[in-house]
């Protein structure tokens, strides 16, 4: 690799990768991101991000110029799509990389009946999605020489991904399952954590990425409604809620996720330490 300019390749250029790019580009980084959509490629290029075709050849070429690798494409029914498509090229490039980050999920911990988990908690997923993430973490961790960092993300929200539109349309529900809490993280804080890790690499590290306040989902909807000045939706018991199988499966895990490590090891001070801060910031940026 002859590349001297720091270059990030995002395998799966999505919500979190875009937020990280917004931090790196002003610092003079080159950012590459994979996509299969021509319209998305044009939007990426307008933001200063170079689109990479989702092909074995495209990935091999991009990897030859990459110093930092972000993996945000999740596993599918057949395993990890990046490794399936370009596993040999990734393995070949691994020893020359300065940093690699894999975006996983706190779903790998499974259900703890509302109790606390941290990065040392055994991985006992209760969903198929969680099981696939455990397998994917292991697959990436098995690549010799890869300077891997694993980031286990809580529920992500941010611009365009908040409760306000549903509330405005009268479609939001306050689903109540007694004792249920979820941990969350604003996308700007995900980007901050990744940036901090790039600046303080610690190969083999695992980080939970979440805010300080695991909270019942109905409380979040109620607060968002108060911010909007619209009626707070009535409570709907979980067993009566009309949820998709995917949405219902999220309620099978109930835990509080500790974020101490991102603070002590990476020096992160959260931009949005709780949903109240994050939702208020979203309302300031979203169209009325």
99-115 tens-digit pLDDT:
999 999 999 999 999 99
pLDDT above 70 (res 44): yes
66 within a domain of the structure (yes/no)? yes
Decide: pTM greater than 0.75: yes
Label the pairing between strands 148-153 and 99-105.
parallel
**Coil, strand, or helix at residue 248?**
helix
231 within a domain of the structure (yes/no)? no
Structural domain for 52, as ranges:
7-157+185-211+256-270
CB-based burial, 177-192: b 16+ in 10 Å, e otherwise: eeebbbbbbbbbbbbb
108 within a domain of the structure (yes/no)? yes
pLDDT band with cut points at 50, 70 and 90 for residue 1: very low
Instruction: With beta carbons less than 8 A apart as the criterion, state whether 75 and 104 touch.
Output: no
Distance CA 283, CA 233 (A): 18
179 within a domain of the structure (yes/no)? no
Q: What is the pLDDT of residues 151-178, one digit of tens each?
A: 999 999 999 898 998 999 998 999 999 9
- Lowest mean per-residue pLDDT among 69-83, 147-161, 273-287: 273-287
Percent of the chain scored above 70 by pLDDT?
Answer: 98
Element (H, E) at 66: none
Distance CA 99, CA 89 (A): 16
126 within a domain of the structure (yes/no)? yes
CATH number for position 260: 3.40.50.720
Number of structural domains the chain divides into: 1
269, two tokens: 């001070």
Distance CA 80, CA 88 (A): 13
**Coil, strand, or helix at residue 93?**
helix
243 within a domain of the structure (yes/no)? no
2 within a domain of the structure (yes/no)? no
134 within a domain of the structure (yes/no)? yes
């Amino acid at each position: 690799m002859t590349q001297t300019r720091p270059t990030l390749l995002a395998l799966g250029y999505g919500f979190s990768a875009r937020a990280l790019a917004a931090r790196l580009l002003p610092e003079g980084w080159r950012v590459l991101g994979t996509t299969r959509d021509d319209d998305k490629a044009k939007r990426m290029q307008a933001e200063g991000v170079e689109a990479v075709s989702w092909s074995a050849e495209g990935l091999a070429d991009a990897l030859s110029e990459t110093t930092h690798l972000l993996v945000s494409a999740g596993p599918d029914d057949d395993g990890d799509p990046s490794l399936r498509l370009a596993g040999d090229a990734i393995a070949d490039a691994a020893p020359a990389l300065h940093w690699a980050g894999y975006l996983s999920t706190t779903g790998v911990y499974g259900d703890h009946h509302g109790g606390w988990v941290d990065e040392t908690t055994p991985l006992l997923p209760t969903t198929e999605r969680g099981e696939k993430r455990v397998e994917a973490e292991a697959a990436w961790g098995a690549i010799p020489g890869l300077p891997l960092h694993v980031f286990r993300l809580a529920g992500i929200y941010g611009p365009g991904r908040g409760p306000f539109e549903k509330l405005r349309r009268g479609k939001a529900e306050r689903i109540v399952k007694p004792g249920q809490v979820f941990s969350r993280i604003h996308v700007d804080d995900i980007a901050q954590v990744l940036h901090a890790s790039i600046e303080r690499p610690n190969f083999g590290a695992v980080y939970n990425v979440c805010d300080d306040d695991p909270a019942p989902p109905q409380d979040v909807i109620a607060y968002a409604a108060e911010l909007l000045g619209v009626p707070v939706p009535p409570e709907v018991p979980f067993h009566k809620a009309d949820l998709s199988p995917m949405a219902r499966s999220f309620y099978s895990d109930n835990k509080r996720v500790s974020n101490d490590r991102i603070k002590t090891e990476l020096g992160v001070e959260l931009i949005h330490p709780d949903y109240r801060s994050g939702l208020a910031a979203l309302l300031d940026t979203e169209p009325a």
